[in-house]
């Protein structure tokens, strides 16, 4: 039976971030080769690379608002005020979390994809970890994983399939608490949960604009962090308009992890849809950036997720006071944060694949967590 405890959460509603569709020129995958550079950029291109001119920013952003690649290098006056005190910090990670269970033998190595970041964090692909060994380690620690998801307004329609597929594939055999943030607690579906897993409903308010619903989730997660500290050891933050297709387990857990956006991990960083307007707290210059992370799947320890969500919310409030909204909302602020607070683990696009991406390159051995096809305008609008 499902354990459900409804509770009201003060403040504004966080909600799902629908991953933006890639440029028309994105076809598939690039084989990545490590370089000596301290920042990531592809070095071997197998397919056409997307161009910045085909990207689709938020309405109302004009060319004069952005820093162009042509003149940006000579005129970057950085206002990259770090919203946390830990500039360019990498969260502390136990040695066994970095090494044990990952690429421990030749049978757990990949030669066809980048498997480590320039700051030596593992990039998780099928074939780079020993799940049996990792499961043993986490069982010995008796850890609980929290999964936050936001079923607000029309997005409630996706919740049942999300939960049912999570029960099949997410952290199987481990303790899990689902935290459902919703403005419709009475509509939360009843899903039979396995032993050691429970569901908690957190009531929140809604907003007229989907952009506000999306951005407020950072505030909501931050506001509930004290409760999370007492109930779970790790937090995984996901969008609800998704389905689990294959195993997603403890191999993803780390003090701080992000997921490569499937539309941009083939691209040169100048094609990344970072916020390029200097007056935004999410601003990233054209000559900076490691990867482009998607806002639909991130997490880590409760303490790290609290710092991330609090910092992103504070940055969004600064932008709001200035009358500016980042090009991709909370995802833009997430990318700024992870640029200056390096994740201790990076998930490959196996862990989030878009329904709009029809090609599946052989480097992708599995698709684990995928978006659900939908009419975005119909779902987003009242």
Check residue 356 and give its pLDDT: 73
Q: What is the pTM of this model?
A: 0.74
Check residue 38 and give its pLDDT: 32
Q: Is 319 exposed, middle or buried (0-12, 13-18, 19+ CB in 10 A)?
A: buried
Question: Is 76 among the domain residues?
Answer: no
Choose, from 167, 304, 325, 331, the residue flagged as catalytic: 331
For residue 7, give the 3-state DSSP assignment. Answer: strand
User: Can you give the residue range of the structural domain that contains 137?
Assistant: 6-48+82-269+290-313+331-380
The number of folded domains in the chain is 1
Question: Is 39 among the domain residues?
Answer: yes
Check residue 354 and give its pLDDT: 85
Check residue 382 and give its pLDDT: 66
Q: Residue 8: which H helix or E strand, with range?
A: strand 6-8
Question: Is 98 among the domain residues?
Answer: yes
Check residue 178 and give its pLDDT: 98
Neighbours of 33 (CB within 10 A): 10
Question: Is 281 among the domain residues?
Answer: no
Q: Tell me: the pLDDT tens digits for 137-184?
A: 999 999 999 999 999 988 999 999 999 999 999 999 999 999 999 999
Strand-strand pairing, 6-8 and 123-124: unpaired
Check residue 108 and give its pLDDT: 55
**Is the distance from CB of 196 to CB of 174 less than 8 angstroms?**
yes
Q: Tell me: the pLDDT tens digits for 332-353?
A: 999 999 999 999 999 999 999 9
Selection from 241, 288, 263 nearest residue 29 by Cα: 263
Kindly tell me if the per-residue pLDDT of 370 is higher than 70.
Answer: yes
Would you call 219 a catalytic residue per the annotation?
Answer: no
- Phi, psi (deg, nearest 5) at residue 208: -70, -45
Q: Tell me: the pLDDT tens digits for 51-100?
A: 332 222 332 223 333 333 333 322 222 222 232 333 344 454 443 443 45
**Is the distance from CB of 187 to CB of 156 less than 8 angstroms?**
yes
Question: Is 238 among the domain residues?
Answer: yes
Q: Looking at residue 150, which CATH number applies to its domain?
A: 3.90.550.10
DSSP 8-class letter at 20: P
Kindly tell me if the per-residue pLDDT of 363 is higher than 50.
Answer: yes
User: What confidence tier does 215 reach under pLDDT thresholds 50, 70, 90?
Assistant: low
> What would the two tokens of residue 165 be?
């597929």
For the ranges 19-23, 109-113, 267-271, the one whose mean pLDDT is highest: 267-271
Q: What angle do the packed helices 329-340 and 210-223 form, to 10 degrees?
A: 40
Kindly tell me if the per-residue pLDDT of 203 is higher than 60.
Answer: yes
Selection from 252, 143, 146 nearest residue 199 by Cα: 146
Work out the average pLDDT over 114-129: 96
Neighbours of 5 (CB within 10 A): 9
Check residue 82 and give its pLDDT: 30
What's the rounded Cα separation, in Å, for the pair 289 and 101? 29
């Amino acid at each position: 039976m499902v354990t459900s405890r409804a509770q009201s959460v003060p403040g504004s509603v966080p909600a799902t971030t629908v991953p933006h569709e890639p440029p028309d020129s994105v076809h598939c995958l690039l084989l990545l080769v490590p370089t000596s550079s301290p920042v990531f950029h592809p070095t071997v291109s197998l397919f056409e690379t997307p161009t910045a001119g085909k990207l689709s920013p938020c309405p109302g952003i004009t060319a004069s608002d952005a820093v162009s690649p042509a003149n940006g290098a000579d005129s970057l006056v950085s206002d990259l005020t770090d919203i946390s005190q830990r500039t360019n910090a990498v969260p502390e990670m136990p040695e066994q979390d970095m090494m044990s269970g990952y690429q421990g033998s030749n049978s757990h190595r990949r030669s066809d994809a980048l498997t480590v970041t320039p700051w030596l964090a593992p990039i998780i692909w099928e074939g780079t970890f020993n799940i049996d060994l990792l499961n043993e380690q986490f069982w010995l620690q008796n850890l609980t994983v929290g999964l936050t998801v936001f079923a607000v307004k029309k997005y409630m329609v996706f919740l049942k399939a999300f939960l049912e597929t999570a029960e099949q594939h997410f952290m199987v055999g481990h303790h899990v608490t689902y935290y459902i943030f919703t403005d419709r607690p009475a509509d939360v579906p009843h899903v039979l949960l396995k032993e050691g897993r429970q569901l908690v409903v957190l009531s929140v308010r809604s907003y007229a604009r989907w952009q506000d619903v999306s951005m407020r989730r950072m505030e909501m997660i931050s506001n509930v962090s004290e409760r999370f500290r007492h109930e779970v050891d790790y937090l995984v933050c996901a969008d609800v308009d998704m389905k689990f297709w294959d195993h997603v387990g403890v191999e993803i857990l780390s003090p701080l992890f992000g997921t490569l956006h499937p539309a941009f991990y083939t691209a040169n960083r100048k094609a990344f849809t970072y916020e390029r307007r200097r007056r935004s707290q999410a601003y990233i210059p054209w000559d900076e950036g490691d990867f482009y992370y998607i806002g639909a799947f991130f997490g880590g320890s409760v303490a790290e997720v609290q710092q991330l969500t609090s910092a992103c919310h504070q940055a969004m409030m600064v932008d709001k006071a200035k009358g500016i909204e980042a090009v991709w909302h909370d995802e833009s602020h997430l990318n700024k944060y992870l640029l200056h607070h390096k994740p201790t683990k990076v998930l490959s696009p196996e862990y989030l694949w878009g329904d709009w991406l029809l090609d599946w390159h052989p480097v992708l051995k599995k698709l684990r967590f995928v978006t659900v096809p939908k009419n975005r305008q119909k779902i987003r609008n009242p």
